[in-house]
Amino acid sequence: MQSFDPFTIAILVAAIVVLLKLRSILGQKTGHQEDLTDIFEREKQKRQARDDGPSADNVVKLPTRSQGDGVDADEKDPRLKQIDKIAKPRTKINKGLKEILAADPAFNPKEFMAGADMAYEMIVNAFAQGDTKSLGNLFSPEVFEGFKLVIDDRESRGETVKSTFIGIDESQVQMAEVKSYEAHITIKFISQIVSATLDKEGVVIEGDDKDISRVKDVWTFARDTRNNDPNWKLVATEAGA
């Protein structure tokens, strides 16, 4: 009777274990799977084509007229349709927003406008309360310094601001462009606010603490499109006409 070499048996057992392991990982063969010989042959042909010259797989095929007529560009990227709602097509603002989208693939026009409205309300309230900590996260250093000087001057005289933000009536893009990788969007805000400045005795010295005022502001937000930080900063402010 022929004896078995223990070392040979160990190798056979190990081979069986490896095969079972591979079977559990790769799953069972189905009718949709290709023969390995066909796969290797196709990969060989692709490598040969790359060595000989440009591969057909690397060529971007332009659509024919019949193919292009039935394709809506907005269906490929709904953000283009959002831009057309914000600014009329073929206008300078519309083109500027699309330039920003091209420079910053993460840019979402609809979300930006909603965020700008939130930032406007937050800044107006923080400025009235003298909350420089909140303002510092939303401003460029230059604009923050200007707001802080006003707040410090107000506090040095013991003055306070009584303010109630009613809401935004309108927010409209006035300008959009990309300057040296930095995206700029200027928005005109029209809001309703109750605001009055009180002296240290609590007497109203500016504004009205009962009447609603219609306020117009033009603010410019900016963001470096090369920066991973998605946040926009307020870089310029002026009173609206």
Greatest Cα-to-Cα distance within the chain, rounded to the nearest angstrom: 115
Q: Tens digits of per-residue pLDDT, 144-162?
A: 999 999 999 999 999 999 9
Q: How far are the Cα atoms of 56, 159, 218 from residue 51, in angstroms, in the given order?
A: 12, 77, 58
Is pLDDT of 103 > 90?
yes
Contact assessment for residue 122 and residue 134, using Cβ atoms and an 8 Å cutoff: yes
CB atoms within 10 A of CB 86: 17
| Strand-strand pairing, 160-179 and 204-224 | unpaired
Q: Tens digits of per-residue pLDDT, 50-84?
A: 455 544 444 443 433 334 444 455 568 999 999 99
For the whole model, what pTM was predicted? Answer: 0.68
d(CA 180, CA 169): 33
Q: Please provide the DSSP assignment of 82-151 as one string.
A: HHHHHS-TTSHHHHHHHHHHHH-TT--HHHHHHHHHHHHHHHHHHHHHT-HHHHHTTB-HHHHHHHHHHH
Is pLDDT of 131 > 80?
yes
DSSP-assigned letter for residue 3: P
% of the chain residues with pLDDT over 70? 68
- CATH number for region 78-239: 3.10.450.240
